[in-house]
Amino acid sequence: MTTETVEITFADHTLEDLHEIATARPRLALAADVAEKIAEGARYIEKIQFQDRHIYGVNTGFGSLCETRIDPSAMSALQHKHLVSHACGIGEVVPERISRLAMLVKLLTFRAGYCGISLDVVGRLLDLWNAGVIPAIPQKGSVGASGDLAPLAHLALPVIGLGRVYRDGELVDAAPVLAELGWKPITLRPKEGLALTNGVQYINAIAADCVVRAGRLVRTADVVAALSLQAFSCAETFYERILHETSRHPERGVVAANLRTMVEGSNHFTLPGSNVAKEDPYSFRCVPQVHGAVRQTYGFARTIVERECNSVSDNPLFFPEHDRVILGGNLHGESTAFALDFLAIAMSELANISERRTYQLLSGQHNLPDYLVPVPGLDSGLMIPQYTSAALVNENKVLCTPASVDTIPTCQLQEDHVSMGGTSAYKLMQILDNCEYVLGIELITAAQAVDLNKELRLGPASQRVYDEFRSVVPFLDVDRQQSLDIEAARTHVRAQSPAWAAGLA
């Protein structure tokens, strides 16, 4: 962790802000006016909790039990039981970075003061963060409405001394860690258990992480495609500025400009292997159109997820200044689910067109040898990495089937329409992982083709990319175990994508 302290204020955060905080792990603190707003909300709960009326989540049961009144003496136990009963997540535990993002986005909901949670609970979440004790969240179990109930219950369990946590990169039980730190489990007040589990901060956290990763990959794809088009001796026409000035899609012009940056100074279009008609395959010639469309979808998802992360996601909400308790649907994740499903389709297509370029480079055309190996036949060269790429692209096509088109009623039909955004979220994580591999395989293939395209002169920007990569994965002169090369290429893509993204529009 850094020694820097970041204050949580009322200001909006970009997704890069959130990603940087989750990655750099500074200390967190509440701005004074935020702390007062939270305290005001908690005081309002204390004021109304014993009134003779149904106040959902304060003196009633949950879901379809909303008309069941709870005895005042049991209202604290109700909140404890709520966390314990709702902690039903299963599967692999999400990375610590995602848990941190979920904590951070939850704190952004609490800062408005409308959730009725106390400074004691918020302070404990800050203590956990600042001590590097991060709740462990199983990946599966959210239907993306009513809040991310199961994942967020696991996020909240350490507040009451239960559950598991990350500490120093290891997964351990929370209770002994809290005892070591001298922290007693917190006794929850009315509404606090519900405030901790309601809302879609879990899927919004995954969405924030995925959108940042996707933003880097859309630029990385331009870098890798530029290397491929030079290696394939493509024409220079399809990325010309004047062509893209005819389009009303500015994203296409951005991609074309990136390609021009990467290929400037290259002689690829003058080589004997060039298509004399300048009609290259669509996987090259339509890069601005396809990558541009992916960027459009990324931009849509970014806008939606950024709005969601800065919004208040909970139910009910308490407005002390109006003396009102308002029941509504701010716990529904449909906006995020749609954005995640649409982005999954787009990123699947980004991998799809990358695999097609890989295939073309291996086709024995444009004065390149079959499978990009000096002695094809004796050696299979890069034949099988393309199979791996095809398998991942197929998996992506299955995974990008929208989860949000489905709903399965829950809670005795009280919650009869849900977003299924939890499925949308973890599917997208896998698609992005696969996309990194597919782009890594294209990079292996493009670099190999560059080496075998003897008369090719790369543009200086592409030459730097090539040189960096060749320090990681050497030329394939004879067959070797290429799973190692693929893993190295994927690691290189992941490591370099922030720098590549920073260097391009």
Active site residue: 44, 56, 166, 239, which one?
A: 56
d(CA 398, CA 342): 14
Residue 331 region by backbone torsions, left for phi larger than 0, else alpha for psi between -120 and 50, else beta: alpha
Give catalytic status of residue 359 as yes or no: no
Using CA atoms, how far residue 252 sits from 227, 245, 297, 413, 505, in Å, is: 18, 9, 13, 46, 11
The residues, any chain, with a CB within 8 Å of residue 29's CB and separated by 6 or more, are: 5, 6, 7, 8, 126
Residue 158 region by backbone torsions, left for phi larger than 0, else alpha for psi between -120 and 50, else beta: alpha
d(CA 468, CA 488): 12
Spatial CA neighbour of 418 closest among 494, 504, 329, 348:
329
CA angle 197, 84, 117 (to 5 degrees): 40
Identify the residue whose tokens are 């096509």. Answer: 397
The residues, any chain, with a CB within 8 Å of residue 480's CB and separated by 6 or more, are: none
d(CA 308, CA 201): 9
35 near 29, Cβ under 8 Å?
no
Q: Which amino acid is at 375?
A: V
159 HSE (CA, 13 A, CB side): 28
The residues, any chain, with a CB within 8 Å of residue 261's CB and separated by 6 or more, are: 461, 504
Measured in Å, how far apart are the chain's first and last C-alpha atoms? 31
Assigned token pair, 56: 């959902």
d(CA 277, CA 408): 54
Identify the residue whose tokens are 């109930």. Answer: 149
Spatial CA neighbour of 472 closest among 432, 502, 444, 500:
444
Assigned token pair, 5: 């302290």
d(CA 134, CA 136): 6
Spatial CA neighbour of 200 closest among 96, 338, 91, 82:
338
d(CA 371, CA 479): 11
Q: For residue 145, give the DSSP letter.
A: S
Active site residues: 56
